[in-house]
Amino acid sequence: MSNSESLALKRTSDAFIWTRILNTPFWALFGILPFIIYKDLHASAFQVTLMITLKPLVSIFSAYWGSAINKRRDRLLSNVIWANVIKHLPFLFFPFFDNAWFLIFSSGVYMMLHRGVVPAWMEILKINLPSASREKVFANGTAIGYLGDGILPFVLGFLLDGYFEAWRWIFPIAALVSFFGVYFQAQIPIALDCLQKEPEAFVLKKQLLLPWRNAWELLTTRLDFLKFQIGFMVLGGGGLMIMQPALPGFFVDTLKLSYTEMSIALTLCKGIGCAVTSSTWAKLMQKVDLYKMSSWVTALGCLFTLFLLASQFNLLWLYLAYISYGVMQAGSELSWNLSGPIFAKDEDSSIYSGVNVLMVGIRGAIVPAIGSFLCVMTSPSMIILLGSALCLLATIKLARDSKSALSVSLGKKKQDRKDQAGYAG
């Protein structure tokens, strides 16, 4: 490895890790925003639901932020830096607003850019880091983030409970801490492609259709990537997403949980499960194909739902459920984020990652609405069972796709050996 490559590896890994570290306090706070607007700003049930629904839904708009870097290496760093600044900027004004709608707007902007920057980050990691280092760095960053998410809510909870509307000044401080990530991001070296795409004239209609056109062209030409989307994103992710509207009722009416019990499960247990196993998933990713690894992720999703149903008989199962969810989340983060560089190989990975982001938005626009409708028709337990069935279908499909991909790979190698033998003869 040359000196320039070593420098690129170090600065890129440092920037990614420090960005995660500096953003951890903010992300830990961000998760309790729905409770803040309900408790302190007296938001309506509609406003709380809207804030929760916007998290996946705004990924449709995230795709436009990500599409700006399509074959444009010169935009990678600016895409990451400006996203980091803009997504935290509204939170600096929290001390001056008593309006729940401003907090909902801030939440939507944050999630849009949080996901919108994924294609740029993944392309930077693909350019500057070899595969093994890329997976290790990403896993370490994920572990740090989730460990902080598991611990910090308890620390911040004392401040929020002990001081009246403490969130008004804690959010701006956490946002300012996140801004320091720009310093490390600006140090990342990006070698510009000699075949750099020339800037094109801005045409509104073309730009509006670009993410959708890219997704259609990619999914119709890369059937291997389409199989991944159906198995992992539609069936597996859909299984976990469809049960989200049922969980509040399940926790409150069925399990009758206190806030402390919910915090232990949703933050501490999930954070520990993710942090402890992230490096293991990264090593596993180097040994098996993406379909097989993703099938194990969705299998854990199925296990999570079964543990969740068992918690009706003993609360210990709830904590085991969210430990398994954290383990699953660690693998899911790797599969979702790094699938773009894996499928792209030598191509621009931002298009692949952009499709992942767009799929989250489409899924978020459809699946929670179906889950909400089913909540009226049946019990939370039945919806959780439906989610379990979808995760099981995803596991079976991805396992079959793995075997099919292996057969194709072995057949190709066999044909290559025959060709070489014929050439030698």
Residue 16 to residue 101: CA distance in whole angstroms: 32
Phi, psi of 236 (to 5 degrees): -65, -55
Q: Tell me which residue of 76, 357, 417, 408 sits closest to 218, measured CA to CA.
A: 357
Question: CB–CB of 277/328 below 8 Å?
Answer: no
Tell whether the model's pLDDT for residue 424 goes beyond 90.
Answer: no
Instruction: Return the domain boundaries, the chain.
Output: 3-191+203-409
Q: Is the pLDDT of residue 273 over 80?
A: yes
- pTM for the complete prediction? 0.77
The count of other CB atoms within 10 Å of the CB of residue 329 is 25
> How much is the pLDDT for 260?
62
pLDDT tens digit sequence for 356-411: 989 988 998 888 888 888 888 888 899 999 999 999 999 999 999 998 876 544 44
Residue 261 CB partners (closer than 8 Å, separation 6+): 315, 318
Q: Of residues 265 and 400, which shows the higher confidence score? A: 400
Query: pLDDT class for 203, splitting at 50, 70, 90?
Result: low
pLDDT the model gives residue 388: 96
Please state the rounded mean pLDDT for residues 13-39.
85
Q: What is the 3-state secondary structure (H, E, C) of 162-175?
A: HCCCCHHHHHHHHH
Exposed (0-12), middle (13-18) or buried (19+): which is 373, by Cβ within 10 Å?
exposed
| Banded model confidence at residue 233, pLDDT cuts 50, 70, 90 | very high
Alpha helix (H) residue ranges in 68-130: 76-88, 100-116, 118-128
Which pLDDT value is given to residue 164?
Answer: 77
What CATH superfamily is the domain 3-191+203-409?
MFS general substrate transporter like domains (1.20.1250.20)
On the question of pLDDT at 157 being above 70, the answer is: no
Residue 362 parent element (H or E): helix 350-377
pLDDT digits (tens, 9 = 90+) for 315-343: 899 999 999 999 999 999 999 989 999 99
- Above pLDDT 70, what percent of the chain? 87
Structure confidence at residue 1 (pLDDT): 60
Per the document, the length of the chain is: 425
pLDDT over 60 at 349, yes or no: yes
